[in-house]
Amino acid sequence: MFKVLPFTAIVHPNAITAPRLVVKMSAIATKNAVESFVVKPPAHPTYDLKGVIQLALSEDAGDIGDVTCKATIPIDMESEAHFLAKEDGIVAGIALAEMIFAEVDPSLKMEWSINDGDKVHKGLKFGKVQGKAHSIVIAERVVLNFMQRMSGIATLTKAMADAAHPATILETRKTAPGLRLVDKWAVLIGGGKNHRMGLFDMVMIKDNHISAAGGVSKALNSVDQYLEQNKLQMGVEVETRTIAEVHEVLEYASQTKTSLTRIMLDNMVVPLSNGDIEVSMLEEAVDLINGRFETEASGNVTLETVHKIGQTGVTYISSGALTHSVKALDISLKIDTELALEIGRRTKRA
């Protein structure tokens, strides 16, 4: 049973002859458009989601629009196209798809049988769009590019989040350039949590900062002074790579008023030749910290290793692979769904 999800169109340009666009970074433009989303996108002070959509449509349309559509599809032809899952997974990007369709043609109507974050199985028709065939085909590839990538991220996130329990799975800043918010939104839809959005919303003292500052304690002291002088309040995380560095951080924190909130335990998971992992160093570090600060395991995190890491007592597990090595979920949008299903069965993709 399909249900109509509420959506308010925010712009009404004609993407068929879209001009070249410059993305002006402002979060205000999309504020009202996200009110009804099942999972809202993460907050960002400058990211313009509408601008990213316009840029994606513009790079596809060029300066004269879709010449194939103009040549083959009557401008006033009405049609209906169905979303078809070609493999099992978690769907993400429904809300973004609605924004894209509205950008191309606000008269298009969408219906969905599922929400962002729901499971689909191969062969399932889970949504449809109705209206001008011209507009549907123009929006098709941009919608699917976003939805397939987001669904791939959400699918892996869901699997890793379930395996990591009771630890919480995080992504990193290893996202596709220009798609930071979209990638991190997909992680939320998949059941993970967001790490820092960028360089501005959390202090994260990594190895290069430590080397440049002259050591862990000096780097922490510099951060504490900076935050106090500039009257800033935000989370502070420091990377440690050895048990000695963990001791140094704890010694500093015991003697100094500090803004430190989390200790990263980097590469303390050791891969073994038999494919297993050794987590004794990670467990030792967690025991030393003993709940005084949040802990985050990083390095050698895979779907196969994340469960064992999650049992060590760490608060968080971060994985760059959630976004930098994503495998897109195979989804199609077809006007002739019966033929698409026939071909899909023939090729074992439906």
3 is catalytic: no
Distances (CA, A) of 34 to 29, 43, 114, 347: 10, 11, 18, 38
Q: Considering Cα of 9, then 123, then 134, then 131, what sign does the dihedral take?
A: negative
Q: Give me the catalytic one of 125, 174, 193, 196.
A: 174
SS3 of residue 39 by DSSP: coil
- CA–CA distances in Å: residue 21 to residues 50, 90, 185, 212: 11, 32, 24, 40
Positive or negative, the CA dihedral 103, 104, 107, 113 is: negative
Strand ranges of the sheet holding 331-334, from the earlier edge strand across to the other edge: 109-112, 125-132, 78-85, 331-334
Percent helix, percent strand, percent coil in the chain, to nearest 5:
40, 15, 40
304 is catalytic: no
Q: Which of 239, 245, 296, 330 is catalytic?
A: 239
Task: For residue 147, report the phi and psi dihedrals to the nearest 5 degrees.
Answer: -65, -40
Buried b (16+ CB within 10 A) or exposed e, 268-289: bbeeeeeeebebebbbebbeeb
How many C-beta atoms lie closer than 10 Å to residue 214's C-beta? Answer: 10
Specify the pairing of strand 109-112 against strand 331-334.
unpaired
d(CA 26, CA 9): 18
DSSP letter for each residue of 279-316: -HHHHHHHHHHTTSSEEEEESS--TTTHHHHHTTT-SE
In whole angstroms, what is the distance from residue 295 CA to residue 309 CA?
Answer: 12
DSSP letter assigned to residue 249:
H
Q: Is 257 a catalytic residue?
A: no
- Secondary structure (3-state) at 145: helix
Q: Which residue is catalytic, options 66, 103, 140, 266?
A: 266
Residue 173 appears among annotated catalytic residues? no
Which alpha helices (DSSP H) does 190-261 contain, by range? Answer: 207-213, 216-229, 243-255
Catalytic residue flag (residue 149): no
Q: Which of 206, 292, 327, 345 is catalytic?
A: 206
List the catalytic residue out of 122, 141, 173, 334. 141
For the annotated catalytic residues, the residue numbers are 141, 174, 206, 239, 266
